[in-house]
Chains A and B, each alone.
Chain A
Amino acid sequence: MSFSLVARPQPSKLMVYLSPLLALILTLFSGFLMFSLMGIDGLDALYAFFILPISDSYGFSELLVKAIPLILIGVGLSIGFKANVWNIGAEGQLVMGAVAAGGVALFAYESESIWVLPAMMIAGILGGMAWGAVPAWLKTRFNANEILTSLMLTYVAGLFLSFLVHGPWRDPEGFNFPESRLFSESALLPIILEDTRLHIGMIIALLVVATIWILLSKTLIGFQVKVVGSAPRAARFAGFKEKGLIWFSLLLGGGLAGLAGMIEVSGPIGQLVPQVSPGYGFTAIIVAFVGRLHPLGVTIAGLLLALSYLGGETLQIEMGLPQAVTGVFQGMLLFFLLACDVLIKFRINMTQKASKTESVKQEASA
């Protein structure tokens, strides 16, 4: 029996919701198989991966803490990806946001002003925007490809932060170790759930998601983004300014990544350290696509990816599995999630070869 994919006349509304579920089932099934082959109780392992990390309120709060930066960056990037602007340097923009916000916190050290946090937030956004503006400028002025420039600038940002915490900004009482002073109370994000690390950044993230949603569905610029992404030629005829959209995408993506950086240093970390992000800027790219570039989807994808990291740690503690297994399992989960989306536009024909079917062309950002 051969099977083939046959284009649906219209994308299936049902599959939009069903395909992630199908992916999860497939992941659970093959995960069970993989763990059993390794000589481990598959059900125990799956339980440790998916359920145990969020089985109490603290665990759940940690899930949110981990997902906040992923969601923030993910929604920012999804705008750019819709408009075919390939910003893959969000990690660097996050770092520069953290640097700018951290600079404010250190400058205002021991200040009790309530304006420290708002100032840090603005600085963080501006820091990320500035780092996003460089690729935008190089692209619009010199036609330099943003994939390369944004990626290279990520390394530069990391080294710049390293220079700061090893040198001018290191804690004067810290025995010359590479980290800044601990921020004062006024520079730390308020905790919204007692005895956890869940901070006000969650509310900020929700507001950002809602704003972007409105922006995309109700405003002219949102419309432009969608048109440029799906039909660049039509957009050009319609007189949309390509350069404007490049600037808009990179400033928005950079600004939100910078905000995420501010939230990390002023929330869970509380100081500047050589490594402020475990790769959120890169993971958020996956989050954006797994979330189908839609604000709600990105939010769910951010939570799922965050869970996969927490689950990986629990697998190590509870089952004694090496971290490598987490990577393999995460990879499988992502493959299934991405692959099952094919069912939205296609159906599987099991019995005979596909006869004449309509051709469907999919844009990368669709």
Chain B
Amino acid sequence: MKHPFKKIVGIAATVAGLAIAGQSMAETKVGFVYVGPVGDHGWTYRHDIGRQAIEDKFGDQVKTTYVESVKEGPDAERVVRKMAASGHDLIFTTSFGFMNPTLKVAKKFPKVKFEHATGYKRVKNMSTFAGRFYEGRYVVGTAAGHMTKSNIIGYVASFPIPEVVRGINAVARSARAVNPDATVKVVWVNSWYDPGKEADAAKTLIDQGADIILQHTDSPAPLQVAEQRGVWGVGQASDMSSYAPNNQLTAIIDNWDQYYIERTQAVIDGNWKSGDTWGGIKSGMVEMAPWNDAVPADVVAAAEKVQKAIVDGSLHPFQGPVINQNGEQVIPAGEVLDDGALSGMNYYVQGVEGSLPK
């Protein structure tokens, strides 16, 4: 504020701000409710990177706050409400289990905007958003189908919910598209986050012949095991190559930065509207980390071709015919599973071993 002109502008801005009673010039407050610790390396960590992106972008104009490790259950509603009551304009709740608590608070605070990740309930002041991570998994599956020698792709899974099932199916479909003998072997650890158990599951899969390990749990442990055992692993949520410099095939990165900035901007501009955003590779919400240098060029080319086709819309990971594990046709050739069918997916497709826990 050394420059006299800047000072004048500053004073003018302050006066203007006071004049319109702190409406448009006031600091916008954005709150985040996280299900895990920001240091989980995975899901919550990436959301917090998104929060920091808002801070970087808007500077003093926006103030962000967060509460981490909020348990799904009775605590969630209290935390969301506390944020709404303490002057936040926009609140992101980033776990499925926060859906009903967020909805309850949204109804009581019509002026506050809410953004809930991975849910399906919306009202006028509550949006939903999620990433089409299955697109990333479809790309990975292409490479995995080429690279596997044992034809067994191992999958460390958390809980049998549609989000996870979709990812497993996407991998099976793309791997078999390039390698009809490929199969996906799934082990459920019944936890989002238990490094030891995730590592054990990865070891188990490798011992049973898997030579590529994918995971839908939050810690880098399965990837580390892949590195130790000299098989391929795939990073989850963020680029985890520091944990497996030699054996991370690629990583499927959650990138919320752009979406968070857009939504914050919309609140500042006063044109925020409730909606449902399901962003994939095209929108940048799903990103692929650089391919490992050791991956043959033709494999990278094949995977990138698939990636391009998904982006330009010429390929859909679940385009017909989609055939489930029992050999029944879910949809015929020429059709595509719509978002409704995708969001409730509760069956395995052909190529996945074992049966889905019901």
Contact = CB atoms under 8 A, between A and B. Distances in A.
B344 A66 contact: no
Nearest to A175: B344
Contacts of A195: 108
A323 interface: yes
15 contacts: A58-B81, A65-B78, A166-B159, A166-B357, A175-B343, A176-B161, A177-B162, A268-B74, A269-B73, A271-B100, A275-B72, A310-B78, A313-B70, A318-B86, A323-B69
Contacts of B77: 197, 268
B73 A313 contact: no
Interface in A264-283: 264, 267-271, 273-279
A66 B78 contact: yes
Taking each of B77, B82, B161, B358, which has the highest tally of chain A beta carbons within 10 Å of its own beta carbon? B82
A232 interface: no
Contacts of A324: 37
Contacts of A317: 31, 65, 67, 82-83, 86
* 8 A-B pairs with the lowest CB-CB distances in the bound complex, closest first: A278-B71, A268-B74, A175-B344, A176-B346, A316-B67, A275-B73, A323-B68, A176-B162
Interface in B98-151: 100, 108, 119-120
A274 B97 contact: yes
Interface in A26-56: none
A313 B78 contact: yes
A65 B78 CA distance: 10
Given A274-B72, A276-B73, A178 B358 contact: no
A174 B118 CA distance: 12
Nearest to B71: A278
A249 interface: no
Given A318-B86, A323-B68, 15 more contacts: A58-B85, A168-B358, A177-B162, A179-B100, A264-B73, A267-B74, A268-B74, A274-B97, A275-B72, A278-B73, A279-B71, A316-B66, A317-B82, A317-B86, A322-B38
Contacts of A177: 96, 119-120, 161-162
A273 B72 contact: yes
A62 interface: yes
A84 interface: no
A71 B332 CA distance: 58
Interface of B: 31, 37-38, 65-75, 77-79, 81-83, 85-86, 96-97, 100, 108, 119-120, 159-162, 190, 343-346, 357-358
A314 interface: yes
Interface of A: 58, 62, 65-66, 159, 162, 166-168, 174-179, 182, 195, 197, 264, 267-271, 273-279, 309-310, 313-314, 316-318, 320, 322-324
Contacts of B82: 313-314, 317
Contacts of A274: 72, 97, 159
A319 B100 CA distance: 27
Contacts of B345: 176
Taking each of B65, B78, B97, B346, which has the highest tally of chain A beta carbons within 10 Å of its own beta carbon? B78
Contacts of A309: 75
A279 B72 CA distance: 11
A270 B100 contact: yes
A182 B346 CA distance: 21
B73 A166 contact: no
A176 B78 CA distance: 26
A171 B161 CA distance: 12
B74 A264 contact: yes
A332 to B, nearest CB: 19
Contact of B344 (A176, A313, A316, A323): A176
B31 A166 contact: no
B140 to A, nearest CB: 23
A268 B76 CA distance: 10
Nearest to A326: B69
Given A278-B71, A322-B38, A166 B161 contact: yes
A271 B37 CA distance: 25
Contacts of B69: 323
A233 to B, nearest CB: 44
A322 B44 CA distance: 13
A268 B108 CA distance: 15
Contact of B65 (A65, A310, A316): A316
A47 to B, nearest CB: 14
Contact of A275 (B71, B85, B160, B161): B71
Given A166-B161, A176-B161, A177-B162, A278 B75 contact: yes
